[in-house]
């Protein structure tokens, strides 16, 4: 089993003991910085699964968790959403700060809530798919148009960075484990104007900006 999953299981069991829960069933699991999700099939009763800074992540490679109600995958290497409808009970889906471009597979899911900020969504996903999900009654949290456009432009340059806004402040991030070992915390503050200016003049300097403001570049093992 992936070592980071083992750590998550140990923490889950500790929490159960603190709650005086003697059952063997694990219904909630937090996994951080895993490079493989091998072993999740051992926990078919999961209702809540949180994956933070994991890479790679793909719904089609995850086990079919029939009881899964809430899935949160953030700051991870999630790129495609094919197979997300394999979780029949899933109602709450949060995927902030990943590499998602095509959100159309979500139209086959029955979601009550969706968080998808900080992803380089295609124009169709942002302007057609997400409004359709909202029309169906799903509570959708998405990037504002300015940072969405910036993230989409960054994607088109093949630079492994994305842009998002939180409480009026803009940040750069690099989802997954390609260039940082802490993708869920290495989020330097930036001004959206400077990102747009660099995209116009010299997009490659975005990596310098990421490093200078506190991001990790090059990778720690270099």
User: How many Å apart are CA 141 and CA 114, to the nearest integer?
Assistant: 6
- Residues 6+ positions from 59 with CB-CB distance below 8 Å: 80, 81, 82, 83, 84, 86
Global confidence as pTM: 0.94
Q: Is the dihedral of CA 2, 105, 66, 61 positive or negative?
A: negative
pLDDT tens across the length of the chain (222 residues): 999 999 999 999 999 998 899 898 999 999 999 999 999 999 999 999 999 999 999 999 899 999 999 999 999 999 999 999 999 999 999 999 999 999 999 999 999 999 999 999 999 999 999 999 999 999 999 999 999 999 999 999 999 999 999 999 999 999 999 989 899 998 999 999 999 999 999 999 999 999 888 876 444 444
User: How many Å apart are CA 197 and CA 201, to the nearest integer?
Assistant: 6
CATH topology of domain 3-212: 3.80.10
How many Å is the Cα radius of gyration of the chain?
A: 18
- At 220 the pLDDT is 47
- At 221 the pLDDT is 46
């Amino acid at each position: 089993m992936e070592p980071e999953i083992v750590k998550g299981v140990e923490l889950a069991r500790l929490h159960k003991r603190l709650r005086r829960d003697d059952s063997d069933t694990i219904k909630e699991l937090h996994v951080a910085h895993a490079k493989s999700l091998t072993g999740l099939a051992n926990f078919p009763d999961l209702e809540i699964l949180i994956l933070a800074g994991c890479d790679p992540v793909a719904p089609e490679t995850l086990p079919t968790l029939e009881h899964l109600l809430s899935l949160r995958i953030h700051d991870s290497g999630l790129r495609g959403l094919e197979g997300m409808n394999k979780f029949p009970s899933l109602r709450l889906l949060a995927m902030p700060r990943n590499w998602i471009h095509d959100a159309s597979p979500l139209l086959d899911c029955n979601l009550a809530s969706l968080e998808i900020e900080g992803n380089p969504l295609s124009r169709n996903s942002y302007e057609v798919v997400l409004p359709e999900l909202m029309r169906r009654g799903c509570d959708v949290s998405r990037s504002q148009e300015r940072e969405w456009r910036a993230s989409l432009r960054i994607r088109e340059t093949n630079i492994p960075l994305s842009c998002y806004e939180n409480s009026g402040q803009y940040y750069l991030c690099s989802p997954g484990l390609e260039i940082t070992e802490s993708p869920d915390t290495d989020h330097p503050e930036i001004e959206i104007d400077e990102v747009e200016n660099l995209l116009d003049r010299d997009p490659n300097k975005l990596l310098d900006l990421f490093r200078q403001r506190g991001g990790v570049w090059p990778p720690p093992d270099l």
